Amino acid sequence: MKFVRKLPNVDPVKHEELIRAQWHPLKEPKTFLGAFLLSIPFMVIAVCISFWIIKTFSGISLSEFGIHDDRIRFSIPISSFLWLLLLLVLHELLHLIFIPNFIQSKKTYVGINGFGAFVTTEEKITKSRFILVTVTPYLIISVLFPLLLGKFGLLTPAFKFFILLNAAASSIDLLTLFLIIFQVPTYAVLVNNGTRTYWKIK
């Protein structure tokens, strides 16, 4: 595992090598903006699912977040920034721990850029494991956590906010999940080259 300042770039030489070795490029957005725009429907769906889970156990309204009919008033304690940092770390850690042998890996990268923290790997990973790495932060933080917290009556406004925030932030992960499910055969292996993804039947 390596700590880096930015996501690895696509290596054109490696791209040609992968193509010659009959790896298939995943049909995916080439830019972050393109990925973000395509992920908006997944953001809406993810937030709605988490909202529904929260509402099943506890009432939820805009007033809990400082938004009223006649005014908007935010009170943001310093501790909220610490919780936000914790959420960011937890989200990326949940990606990381499901990457096989991530500690010994020389092709797994962790870092922070202008869009937040990131975890990526250029190790070869099976489709099922790639899906697990991709979707786990959303499932645990924005589905499992509200179910458990709701069951024990611990869904405070702060928890509700961070659960919904994580759901929204998982939109590109969910877009990736969608692309993998519908493009990659069941028994394929995937590998990243920078920000591009390739698959091949093992």
Q: Whole-prediction pTM value?
A: 0.88
Is residue 34 predicted with pLDDT exceeding 80?
yes
Is residue 32 predicted with pLDDT exceeding 90?
no
d(CA 49, CA 191): 30
The tokens of 15 are what?
Answer: 């791209």
d(CA 12, CA 25): 13
Inter-residue contact 184 to 62 (CB < 8 Å): no
Is residue 102 predicted with pLDDT exceeding 70?
yes
The string of pLDDT tens digits covering residues 125-141 is 999 999 999 999 999 99
Q: Is pLDDT larger for residue 31 or for residue 174?
A: 174
- Identify the pLDDT of residue 100: 93
The tokens of 41 are what?
Answer: 């429907």
Query: Among residues of the chain, what percentage have pLDDT more than 90?
Result: 73
Q: Which residue do the tokens 């699912």 mark? A: 49
Q: Where are the alpha helices (DSSP H) in 68-197?
A: 78-96, 127-139, 145-151, 157-169, 171-183
d(CA 173, CA 102): 19
Is residue 54 predicted with pLDDT exceeding 80?
yes
Determine the 3-state secondary structure of 12 from DSSP: helix
Q: Measure Cα distances from 62 to 8, 42, 92 in Å.
A: 40, 22, 28
Cβ count within 10 A of residue 92? 18
- 10 Å CB burial of residue 126 (0-12, 13-18, 19+) is middle
The tokens of 91 are what?
Answer: 């989200």
